[in-house]
A and B are shown apart, each in its own frame.
Chain A
Amino acid sequence: MIRLAAGGPVIPNFGHGSACVTGDHVFCFDWVRAHWSDTLEPALVQHVELTGIAVGIGFALAFALGLAAHRLRGIEHPVGITAALLYTIPSLALFQLLVPLTGLTWTTIEIALVGYTLVILFPNVVAGLRAAPPDVLEAALGMGLTRRQVLWRVELPLAVPAIVGGLRIAVVSTISIGTIAAFLGKYGLGYPIFLALKEPTPFKTEIYSAGALAVMLALACDATLILLRRLLAPWAAKRLA
């Protein structure tokens, strides 16, 4: 997990690079090749871990809480507003507020990211479970299904598009917010960018390559989730966004 921290200096060495690197040209493929294994790849792997853990825990929590809250009446609106209000907490501020509690650590970052994931996913799970049309529920009950069977065989399958929709936003946002983890330490794809921005003349290739990796990671995850929704809920494939 903390491969970067153990991986030695990742600061580009302006003194010994090619003409492209020392001249800070627009994009130096030789720098990317030279620093893929010591800077970019570990940062990418770490970013995937950061996101995976956060979304995994966040999804489990949101799903369990969503099921628990499913039968409570009249909570949809307050939950939506509260979640939206909590989501306004700026990531940089949240990271810093957690520092007295858990320090400049991986835990601090994961707590914040799990929090954002939960706030995105929980309203989606609740709303999704309520998306089943009343007549469908009536029919299911009329056929003799128990409450539990209705939940697992009717409401949950119908909630899949909303839940996957929430997951898409959660994953992409977590990848984006994960770059801010660099303000706390050597974490993720934000760190090479953060380092470059701290230099008097920011090294372009480092910013562009790490940035492109973050964007491509987000788009790839988004596309995968769209595919997943097509598989799980082919009837809901009308709209992409």
Chain B
Amino acid sequence: MASSLLQDKRGMSLLALIWLGVLLASAANLLLPESSALYVGSNTITLLGKYLCYALLAVSLDLVWGYLGILSLGHAAFFALGGYVMGMYLMRQVGDRGVYGNAELPDFMVFLNWSELPWFWQGVGHFPVALLLILLVPGILAFVFGFLAFRSRVTGVYLSIMTQALTYALMLAFFRNEMGFGGNNGLTDFKDLLGVSLTAPGTRITLFVLSALALTLGYVACRLIVSSKLGRVAVAIRDAESRTRFIGYRVEWFKLALFVFSAMLAGIAGALYVPQVGIINPGEFSPLNSIELVIWVAVGGRATLYGAVLGALLVNYAKSVFTGVLPDEWLYALGALFVLVTLFLPRGVMGLLQRKEAEA
């Protein structure tokens, strides 16, 4: 087991770099005075934390796309579901500090004249229950969808379009006020997490470090999976599904297991994302988000895992810079990125590096 991690030199050095960055940024935020030139502001910490969550999401997608051949165009839906569970927990923590001061109901329910908490909100205010649901909700959705899809052998672009329809349907559903998830506005105005204020600098740093930790653990888990026998069967399914089936593997169960695991990882990423950003709304289900996520993985290089991490960080950093300087041009850059990467960098930035190495 450990040997497969040791062999993954690129991944480990990337993770080490990320940790170095995380520790430096945290130290600069906590120890340096605000006047210092090296001081890292809380907003930057939040932004970096966001990137780390995205990186974990990208790793979860690379697991199914890179190693299993399932191009999910709805992976952001699992991310958003995890986020919504976390958002619900945080809403329950608000208690009677909302605008309407209702101890039992979140503000938007008071606004809609609801008299009691709907059944699916019961218990989510307990942290262990919330943690469990963060894994279970995306997991169960992935299980049901995957079970139906893989069993009837929906593959390739059909599957991609179906996953896109899934996230689209969820987006429409969450936009409805009657669903009980805050409708258009989503869930926001969170106060604290486990009794600690979300706006306190210590909380931000903790969440930031936790995101890095989740990314590391998620990455290591995925690395262990892909270098195990399970991972090799997955690659066999990706490259020749029918042949793997004829050899005697129950293809749909392998697919289902990895798909559910990947959805849970995405859910965790979403759950870490929401307290840092402070809002979750139905826009997170938008098909565009899921496709953007695909391009992160493609830019980094699919089927490498570290490529996904790198791609997510690079593209999102570029997005932050671009939208700050030339807000209107970002979509041009993103569109061009899609075209150029598919045409000229089929294996991403990492593929470019590998080719350089092979030549040298």
Q: Do A and B come from one complex?
A: no
**Chain B positions near chain A (C-beta within 8 angstroms):** none
A interface vs B, CB < 8 Å?
none
